[in-house]
Amino acid sequence: MAVAYHEPMLPLPHRVRRMTWETDDTFTMELVAAGGGGGGITSFAPGQFNMLYVFGVGEAAISMSGSPSNPDTLLHTTRAVGSVTKALANLHPGQLIGIRGPYGVSWPVDEAEGRDIVIITGGIGLAPLRPLIYTLIEQRERFGNITILFGARTPDEILFRDEIEQWRRRFDMDVLITVDRASRDWRGRLGVVTTLIPQSPFDPKNSIAYVCGPEVMMYFTLEALEKRGMPRERVFVSMERNMKCGLGFCGHCQLGPKFVCKDGPVFRWTEVASLLDIREI
């Protein structure tokens, strides 16, 4: 019996086309539907994720990091830290994995129309925001100032370095980078990413903020945004919890009354502000 490909728990076979190491422990996989054209993921929105299945090892939820305008080639950027992501890191071009998705709530783009945009991120948190950045650049005329504030642990851990340089060279957006630690060889900013907020060129009264990074970073980012006068309801965050089914059935990613996989991972800050003390199940 033929099984419809949209069966939500059935992974679709995808082939690794390319592996690119972004930093010592972070890599980007380029994946295409195994059957050639069709039979794969046909569209996604910025901020959504897929469940990537390494056969015989397990599944991991990983956000798309490529352009939504080019869904035939799926990019996923992740860090090799757990058993599944370490197995993904060892894949070679031509090998097969399974994909379920896309899942989750995306970054709200229409809500940013006519407003300044500030994107605040750190470390691997830039990966789920890159599809949004591509979308904003493609539709640049719809928005006011665009500011990207990016923090990394060290200069060697700056993600998508070449692309960030390209964004920095654009005249229609501001990109500020800081690192937490560095030697004297680094002549850029040194300090946590929240230090960039007070003087960034956005009007808090008419701005929207997209934030993704470790929760402790997001917490202090919100504090700095509030101090700058940004209303909480115009701040969006991407939460990370241990996602298993991707459909809100299994409960692994429950965050109070929310399921991160289904109700998120992108939330309006006001929806989750009181839930941040709830530890992972």
- Extract the tokens encoding 115: 């407003």
Least distance between other proteins and beta carbon 67 (Å): 25
Least distance between other proteins and beta carbon 19 (Å): 19
Residue 269 DSSP SS3: helix
Q: Which is nearer to other proteins, 122 or 246 (CB)?
A: 122
Q: Which is nearer to other proteins, 125 or 264 (CB)?
A: 125
- Pairwise CA distance, residues 6 & 101, whole Å: 9
Q: Which is nearer to other proteins, 145 or 195 (CB)?
A: 195
Least distance between other proteins and beta carbon 80 (Å): 9
Least distance between other proteins and beta carbon 38 (Å): 36
User: Which chain residues interact with other proteins by CB under 8 A?
Assistant: 25, 79, 81, 122-124, 151-153, 157, 178, 180-184, 186-192, 194-195, 198-199, 213-214, 216-217, 220
- Extract the tokens encoding 149: 């504030």
- Extract the tokens encoding 261: 């996989």
Q: Which is nearer to other proteins, 39 or 201 (CB)?
A: 201
Q: Which is nearer to other proteins, 208 or 211 (CB)?
A: 211
- Pairwise CA distance, residues 150 & 160, whole Å: 11
Instruction: Provide the 10 A C-beta neighbour count for residue 180.
Output: 15
Least distance between other proteins and beta carbon 123 (Å): 4
- Extract the tokens encoding 241: 């919890």
Type of residue found at 112: A
Q: Which is nearer to other proteins, 87 or 124 (CB)?
A: 124
Least distance between other proteins and beta carbon 199 (Å): 5
Least distance between other proteins and beta carbon 197 (Å): 11
Q: Which is nearer to other proteins, 12 or 217 (CB)?
A: 217
- Pairwise CA distance, residues 45 & 108, whole Å: 9
Query: Residue 90 class from Cβ within 10 Å (0-12 exposed, 13-18 middle, 19+ buried)?
Result: exposed
Tell me how far CA of residue 153 lies from CA of 124, 150, 157, 164, 270, in angstroms: 10, 10, 6, 16, 28
Type of residue found at 225: L
Please name every residue paired with 76 in a beta bridge, in sequence order, or none if there are none: 29, 64
Element (H, E) at 267: strand 266-268
